[in-house]
Amino acid sequence: MSVAVLGAGAFGTALAVALSRNGPVTLWARDARALMDTRQSPRLPGVTLPDAITITGDLAQATACETLLLSVPMQQLSGLLDRIATPMQGRALVACCKGIDLTEGVGPSALIAHHQPDATPAVLTGPSFAADIARGLPTALTLACGDGAAGRSLQAQLSTPVLRLYRSDDMVGAELGGALKNVIAIACGACIGAGLGDSARAALMTRGFAEMVRLATALGARADTLSGLSGLGDLTLTCTSDLSRNFRYGLALGRGEPFDPTVTVEGAATAQAAAKLAQDHALPLPVCTAVSDLTQGRLTVRQAMDTLLSRPLKDE
């Protein structure tokens, strides 16, 4: 089956590079001409796009492929879905973005179901940095799809000798793990940036993970999904490496430094969405709520920490 990646950011380009080792791949980019001319992505320094990748700025050409990987920022996903005019009957749309849509309050699989109801939605997520995938370093991800047969087909199609996909039918759990870990990564970055130490980071990761499970299960996910690659695995990677954009953004907040506004930080929007969901479902999500307030300038890092530390003592 033919494969196209829609979105030539770092992750989308890295996926195209990895999958081109299996066969031809189409990569749709808004700045297609520059990529065609240089075969180099400014998002992935040192990586040359293989000849097996066809670069195009024509969305209709890309969406003629049978399997589409959607690798645009979460807040742009609904707009992209509305632009796909090719009939999607019997074809898979695989979301490779992590977050919660601020307008509709749902994750990518629900957006696909709403905007392209004839397609088969799936989610590709897990602990990964684009540079590692592009370089061919071993990586394991979760492929979640509610249709068992489609999930098995996608797992076989999108796996490579060094990109190992584990299949799940819990799309809600997989996508919420990938979304909410970004919120906790901002908190951990702010903690380290403010000089609060590794012990405080460990506490934030642990209590943040409890919030991830609490919200995900309230929205219909299985708790064990959050203990896998798409939850705990991704949380561990993102909260402990300055290669994570969300962690670096938190570092800048903690240090009181400016952050590059051109860099997409999905966790900031996700924190707002999570705080609203917490309110709507009467769920205690103090870390997520604190990050929402912090990223919107309603709290300083010190005030956010004081808020968390002054909560009533409780059983674990």
Catalytic, out of 98, 181, 276, 314: 181
Helix crossing, 171-193 with 266-280: angle to 10°? 110
Reply yes or no on whether 314 is catalytic: no
Nearest alpha carbon to residue 218 among 274, 281, 144? 281
Rounded to whole angstroms, the Cα distance separating 133 from 136 reads 5
Q: How many residues would you count in the chain?
A: 316
Give me 196's structure tokens: 């609060």
Q: What is the DSSP string of 233-277?
A: IHHHHHHH-TTSHHHHHHHHHHHT----TTS--HHHHHHHHHHHH
Catalytic residues: 181
